[in-house]
Amino acid sequence: MFKLSCFRRYTFATLLNFLFFHGIINTMQNTNKKLLIGVGIILLIIVLWVFISKGSSSPSNTNINQATSTTVVPASTQTSTHAATPATAKITEGTTSGICNFVVTFPKANQAVTFPLTIIGYIDQAKSTGCLWNENLSRAGTVEVSYDVNGAGWQVPGVPVPIIANGSLGTAQSTSTLAFTAPVNLQTAVLGLRSGTPVKFTFTELNVTNVPNPDTFSEIVYLK
């Protein structure tokens, strides 16, 4: 700033000297132009003074940079007011599931499946669990299929499907094991269901006259 002011003052003095001697010479050569030259000198002096005054009052570039600079926080040190989204938990395939003496062997809990599929399992009358899954005349109850999209709740697109047993245990075969199947389907393409959508199978035992409240349990799998 000091160097700039000295330069401007030196320039101003040089111009004044030039104009002064130029005015004297012109006055000596042509006295009729004396008045015009004097006016011109005054105007130039005013312009130079305004220029020098503006230069002295303007802030330096250093001050401008300091006033307008912004501190940038590195990405590694920035903090967010939003909680981090937890990673999706890994789904672990379970084992056989069931209730009482009713056991589902396929599909397993949390297994990735495609439709249509056939649910497979067995009824073990020899298994002492304190309760028995009722079956009669090759019928062992029903299974209902439902799905849940983005936690919106379980939607049931159809009606329960009968669970078919390969015979009937009856009292004479109380120590036998009875296999069962239940073919089910879910129109995943029509419903617009994507891979990873949870699907629930709800099993209900055969509702007979002497069992007003049939046993029920659910198993959840996922679309492959």
Q: What is the pTM of this model?
A: 0.56
**Dist CA 193 CA 189 (whole Å):** 6
Residue 112 pLDDT = 97
| pLDDT exceeds 60 at position 63 | no
Q: Coil, helix or strand for 222?
A: strand
Q: What is the mean pLDDT of the chain?
A: 73
What band does 9 get if pLDDT is binned at 50, 70 and 90?
A: low
CA dihedral 159, 165, 167, 170 (to 10 degrees): -90
Assign residue 189 a region: left if phi > 0, alpha if psi is -120 to 50, beta otherwise? alpha
Residue 204 and residue 161 in contact, taking contact as beta carbons nearer than 8 Å: no
What percent of the chain is modeled with pLDDT above 70?
58
Evaluate if residue 51 carries a pLDDT over 80.
no
pLDDT above 50: residue 117: yes
Between 131 and 149, where is the model more confident?
A: 149
Kindly give the pairing relationship between strand 117-124 and strand 139-148.
unpaired
